[in-house]
Structure 1
Amino acid sequence: MTSELFFSEEPILSVKEDLIPLPTYKAVSTTSIDFSGLLETPLRLHEDLRTGCGGQIWPAGMVLARHMLRYHRNSLTQARILEIGAGGGLVGLAVAIGCQTSRPIYISDQENMIDLMRKNIAINDLESLVQELELNW
């Protein structure tokens, strides 16, 4: 055996882009969501994947937000709410708009999502109800 087999600079596994195309990312956009009529005033959510995968609406977040709006609209008055891994803040912002709460709601994620959370808080005029937090989990 020659040393070329052991010390080659060629990649061991090389897959060309024509076999596995590069992903296309959803364009930056703002979406209005009323959760099938559960919100009288729709939530506006800015989506931007340039800062990470948390910058989009995830189906699980839609399910959780709809559940909270449908079954906990009036039971969160004294609750202390912290959404961990909030991304753009879908669930926490939906709860702030559609549920009766008397305490601040905290939405948290890693540093790269903070600006997106702030933007979504602002476009929904929720600065007095929702606070973003950096939490590296």
Structure 2
Amino acid sequence: MAHPQEARTAEPERMLGLAMRRGAMGRCPNCGEARLFTGYLKVKDHCPNCGEAFHHHRADDGPAYVTILIVSHIAVAVMLSVYTIYRPSSEVMIAIFLGGSLVASLILLPIIKGAFVGLQWAKRMHGFGQGGEDRPNEP
């Protein structure tokens, strides 16, 4: 009987950086060809190109937390600088930074979610390590 650690080393290594980059670009972390999302944030159940299953991903609230963290840190630094240099009114500050934060969040959220799915795939987390038994296109 093979030791569980030996079974893991027999599987081909998945490159973390490449998988996260592919996911961030909205592509399948395995093949990099097909689209990862069916809509704005809905991840496809399977890759139509290579058949990799994505239905078991667990990118729940993590992408939202990271998006908020990034956008808020940048917005606060820029807001402080703009206020110190130009001293605009409160209404102008609220309008500009509320709109800017909203747009930045909407742009970053699918990028970060795709990177999360790529991370989980590369690290064989949450069902991504079953060796392809979920692939519908393979006999």
Q: What interval of TM-score do these two structures reach, taking the shorter chain for normalisation?
A: under 0.3
TM-score by length of 2: 0.23
- Between 1 and 2, higher relative CO (CA 8 Å, sep ≥ 6) is seen in 2
Which has a greater percent of strand? Answer: 1
Structure possessing the higher radius of gyration over alpha carbons = 1
TM-score by length of 1: 0.23
Which has a greater percent of helix? Answer: 2
